[in-house]
Structure 1
């Protein structure tokens, strides 16, 4: 009986030891990752490194492009500024080029006047109007820039008429100079000129002298001209 009990006890101890060893072996097996998963993890890390390097390169390229864009924008602004300056210079040059010349009648022949009061003359046949400062519809010259201007006018009338020929230059409401002629026979002419300092907004025009009349035809005897000498 004692032998039997001892043998059973030995078997039980051996069995427990074997179970413990198996459990430890199982635990070790669970703790280790499967062999086929380890290469995949390394691949993912390699891909992440490549992506990180690619992103860094793209950031560098973006900074380079941003710098180039800034430089191009600065150059574009500089060119736009230069164009603006050129346009201003062109405009100033055009303003400094002012000249006109016109005759009294646009076509045909005949007299203008007489009238009892001073009457503004409209020189309708315009042959030169650089700067568009003279208006043939009103007969008024308006200076586009402050400066010194010179004006000339010529009048004519056939003789044998009671009425004289006369035209007076006005600056705004100021009587400047008069051209006047009265011939009882033959053809008569007269002329005059004036140099004026004008401001922007002034007006210059000719008025027919009261009870006078002017003659004009295809030869254009009666004319009005002016031009800018220099700016001030």
Structure 2
């Protein structure tokens, strides 16, 4: 009986001295619940941002009616003044003062507008000269290698003349449009920006 009593006492002491594992489990579960709540809050915030982004996209689409936006306008000289030309060959004019270039179709390094969207476009250019005593001015809008419309002026009693022309044409993706100065001819420009080249998409094909 004494041995049984001793064993019961020892077992009871061991049970009393066990570490409180239940408390650790409770703390661990609380930590997990907190992390889940934090992640849920982050997901809710992300969802709200996505909804706002979707709403902004829808608003932009409603303003543009989902249509591609293409437009540019540029003047011949950024600064300075003087004649451009004469050249030995027909030469594409490089309009370096870019006012706008929505759609990035116009390249000031070449003077060429390249259609990235097939459709019907409007183009216009203006020409100014200071002919006395320089040669005639002949300037044309070109589609690829095709001459479309032109402005021509010759020296006379007056020293300054100005003209403009415009055209509405269909373009396929990849077509190029530019303003060409004929060989041996000149135009004049200064800080007043007389010579300009403008174009925009009327409607896509």
TM-score, with normalisation over the residues of structure 2? 0.69
Inter-CA distance 35–210: structure 2 relative to 1 (3 Å threshold): closer
Aligned to 1:180: 152
Query: Which whole-Å CA distance do the structure 2 matches of 1:205 and 1:64 have between them?
Result: 67
Inter-CA distance 38–123: structure 2 relative to 1 (3 Å threshold): closer
Higher RCO (CA 8 Å, separation ≥ 6 residues): 2
Corresponding residue to 1:52 among 22, 28, 33: 22
Shift, 1:205, TM fit: 1.0
- 1:193 is the counterpart of 2:166: yes
Inter-CA distance 81–201: structure 2 relative to 1 (3 Å threshold): farther
Inter-CA distance 191–82: structure 2 relative to 1 (3 Å threshold): same
Inter-CA distance 86–109: structure 2 relative to 1 (3 Å threshold): farther
How many residue pairs are counted as aligned between the two chains?
Answer: 198
> C-alpha root-mean-square deviation of aligned residues, in Å?
3.9
Aligned to 2:5: 32
Aligned to 1:68: 37
- 1:204 is the counterpart of 2:173: no
Structure with higher helix content = 1
- Residues 71-90 of structure 1 correspond to what in structure 2 (within 5 A)? 71-72=40-41, 74-75=43-44, 77-78=46-47, 81=50
State the Cα deviation string for residues 39-87 of structure 1 (Å, max 9, x = none).
524413xx56x423541x3454355235325524533553564577589
Structure with higher strand content = 2
Inter-CA distance 52–104: structure 2 relative to 1 (3 Å threshold): closer
Larger radius of gyration: 1
Could you list the structure 1 runs, at least 4 aligned residues long, displaced by more than 6 angstroms after superposition. 86-93
